[in-house]
Structure 1
Amino acid sequence: MEEKLNLRDLYRMVKKHLVMIVAITIVAMVISGVVSKFAITPIYQSSTQILVNQADSENIFDVNVVKSNLELINTYSVIMKSPLILEKVIKELDLNRDFEVLYEQVTVSSQEDSQVVVISVEDENQETAANIANSITKVFESEIKKVMKVDNVNVLYPAMVKPTPEPIKPQPALNVVVAGLAGLFLGIGIAFTRDYFDNTIKTEADIENKLGLPALGSITTINETGITSTVAQMKTKKKEVGGKMSGS
């Protein structure tokens, strides 16, 4: 007989294993909070904004010039993360890391329909991140003149060190929430698995559901104390009945 799990069965299953599900959820949240707070190194981000033009001319706001500059934004982004720029940044700042590591730390993006390029750097030290971002801008401004016809790089917002920096990751609150949801689903999954593979008969309803047979009756379990108490009650009733019969 095919078994179907309805909402009532799911509710009973959750209620039956509620303590286990709650325990797993709490443990997952605690572990996530402790790991996020003490085991994961915080990462800080620092960004700088620059405006790049092909040439410093009076026609800088001409529609065709602006369109041409926008089309070159992706090219600028690739150049900023190229060995030509990053290798010189490593040498200038005397960074103890290779090109591949620094490449993964740098993100270059542009705001939609604008000539503004944003250079973001992630590092364990916010001051180092700011220095790298500003150094990339400086080296790019120097090298782009040799590579392309660009002689106008304006820094709109340099990378700075905040007095009280906040790491961008890890995010303990978010991690705890995600871990709590994962623990909840894990607990429900374990409860469902235990019930699914449990073939023992416990109630009259189990007989009807698993065997498809009606339950004719049930035998209760009586322990030794219960039997002694029952025998004593029977003896007491027998004496009372005997006394009444002799008295009459």
Structure 2
Amino acid sequence: MELRDYLRILRRRWVWIGCWALACVAVASAVTLLATKQYQSTARLFVTTAGSGSDPSSSDAYQGGLFSQQRVTSYAELVGSRALAAQVSRELHLDIDATEMADNVSATALPNSVVLDISYTDPDPKSAQAVAQAYADGMTDLIRELETQPGQSTPPIKATVVDNADLPTSPASPNPVRNIGLGLMLGLLLGVATAVLRDLFDTTVKSLVDLSAATDAPLLAAISYDASTRATPLVTALKPHEARVEAFRVLRTNLQFVDVDKADKVFVVTSAVPGEGKTTTSVNLGITLSQAGVRVLLVEGDLRRPKASAALGLDNSIGVTTVLLGRVSAEEAVQVHEPSGLSVLASGAIPPNPAELLQSNAMHDLLRDLRASYDMVIIDAPPLLPVTDAALLGAASDGALLVVRHGKTTKDQLAQAASRLAQVDADLVGVVLNMTPVKSRGTGYGYGYGYGYGYGPDSRPVT
């Protein structure tokens, strides 16, 4: 991945990253508030040898200083001994286990010096001070005992308390600024990592690159997402210049450029799987064609779960199945959607054998008659992958439009759907990318996408 790919992911997933950051900051804040305050008191020892008290320029003083520095490191290790902890506990009459006390004490030997800092941490600041001071005093006694040679009364090296243990006024932990800062950094890292992994493993169609990876069919239009679509699915309920209306006009124009030498055209509108918006696309495409003066017929070819007639507020008791059974003629079964003037042939009663009806000679004869009566016939067909109905209709038509839902349809599903059409020699004339996100307020992403990238069959922009 290149830098621009990561920047694209950050722009797309910034909400996800922000949620991770807020969650980690919240956890860090909760831990900080709930954690027991710990106070730390520190005493300082100064270690000297007998030679270090003479002339500083002498060799003995220099050697004594080096010896003291080496010994300080060893003394820092002795501070954590259980024996010294038990001694301090006895002196202060504390009911604390030696191991627990040793875990709360620390010693630091300052680099290139003979200074030893001893710190003790405790929830009570006074206890921290008392124990730290006891440790410092006990350490001086321990050093004197360890360094005194047998038969001598004065050790060659000694430790002196130069700074008594202080009384802490503010807790050493928890540190709110540090904890929240670490939580923020961790949240951002987790957010970015999750966003990158999510993008790497996301196989849904979101761009022209994704479309081209699954099919060679051109993008005819992109329809932007509108939360009000479920309540008002028809473009007749929208203002003339809204983004969704403009996107369907782009689709209408591009579709008219498909196979320009043929006067009468029959197109199947389908999708890979349910829930991608193929019925809404079929209905609104038919409405925009009708508004442009095209003699268009919308055929409800989904004989399993018909929804087009319900979206238009029409009765579907008489329709395709009624005509195929010979009970009425196609002219008698056609209804008109008054607000748009769109002619509609509903599904009719749902049959037990939809696939057999759709590949019957009666269906071929019906499509032939409809082709002769209208400039364009739009068939709302079932999804391709669950059933074979759409492929059968596609083979009997001039081509198929495949509706792909942005962020839901996977590239594998799109490729399989295109393969289903190719297996029956149906022509996939183009793809409609549905429910694309709005790019910015006031400018519909679907309109900009469809307008700028609405390729006609010759792969040039059609406006």
TM-score by length of structure 1 reads 0.76
Equivalence for 2:136: 137
Determine if contact 1:43/1:123 at 8 Å carries over to the other structure. Answer: yes
Aligned positions, number: 229
Equivalence for 2:21: 25
1:161 aligns with 2:167: yes
- Secondary structure in 2 matching 1:72: helix
Counterpart amino acid of residue 71 in structure 1: Q
- What is the RMSD computed on CA atoms of the aligned residues? 3.3
Counterpart amino acid of residue 48 in structure 1: A
Determine if contact 1:56/1:152 at 8 Å carries over to the other structure. Answer: no
- Displacement of 1:114 in angstroms is 2.8
Deviation string 1:156-190 (CA, Å, 9 cap, x unpaired) is: 1100214xx22222221122122112212222222
Equivalence for 1:198: 202
- Secondary structure in 2 matching 1:28: helix
- Displacement of 1:90 in angstroms is 0.7
How far apart, in 1, do the equivalents of 2:106 and 2:64 lie?
26
User: Which structure has the highest helix share of the two?
Assistant: 1
Q: Superposed, which structure 2 residues align to 1:167-246 within 5 Å?
A: 167-208=171-212, 210-211=213-214, 214-218=216-220, 225-226=234-235, 227=284, 230=288, 231=290, 234=293
Shift in CA distance, 77/219, structure 1 to aligned 2, threshold 3 Å: closer
Equivalence for 2:102: 103
How far apart, in 1, do the equivalents of 2:114 and 2:340 lie?
102
- Displacement of 1:85 in angstroms is 2.2
1:13 aligns with 2:9: yes
Shift in CA distance, 215/203, structure 1 to aligned 2, threshold 3 Å: farther
Shift in CA distance, 129/56, structure 1 to aligned 2, threshold 3 Å: farther
Equivalence for 2:34: 39
Unaligned runs of 5+ in 1: 239-248
Counterpart amino acid of residue 160 in structure 1: D
Determine if contact 2:80/2:103 at 8 Å carries over to the other structure. Answer: no
Determine if contact 1:204/1:215 at 8 Å carries over to the other structure. Answer: no
How far apart, in 2, do the equivalents of 1:237 and 1:83 lie?
91
Q: Superposed, which structure 2 residues align to 1:76-87 within 5 Å?
A: 76-87=75-86
- Secondary structure in 2 matching 1:109: strand
Higher relative contact order (CA 8 A, sep 6+): 1
Pick one of 40, 46, 50 that aligns with 2:45: 50
Determine if contact 1:60/1:66 at 8 Å carries over to the other structure. Answer: no
Determine if contact 1:47/1:121 at 8 Å carries over to the other structure. Answer: yes
- Displacement of 1:48 in angstroms is 0.8
1:114 aligns with 2:116: no
- Secondary structure in 2 matching 1:102: helix
Give identity over the alignment, percent: 22
Determine if contact 2:143/2:159 at 8 Å carries over to the other structure. Answer: no
- Secondary structure in 2 matching 1:50: strand
Unaligned runs of 5+ in 2: 149-154, 224-228, 236-283, 294-337, 342-463
Counterpart amino acid of residue 193 in structure 1: L
User: Which structure has the highest strand share of the two?
Assistant: 2
Counterpart amino acid of residue 166 in structure 2: M
Counterpart amino acid of residue 186 in structure 2: A
Shift in CA distance, 18/88, structure 1 to aligned 2, threshold 3 Å: same
How far apart, in 2, do the equivalents of 1:200 and 1:138 lie?
70
How far apart, in 2, do the equivalents of 1:81 and 1:190 lie?
42
- Secondary structure in 1 matching 2:139: helix
Shift in CA distance, 40/203, structure 1 to aligned 2, threshold 3 Å: same
Counterpart amino acid of residue 80 in structure 2: K
- Secondary structure in 1 matching 2:133: helix
- Secondary structure in 1 matching 2:101: helix
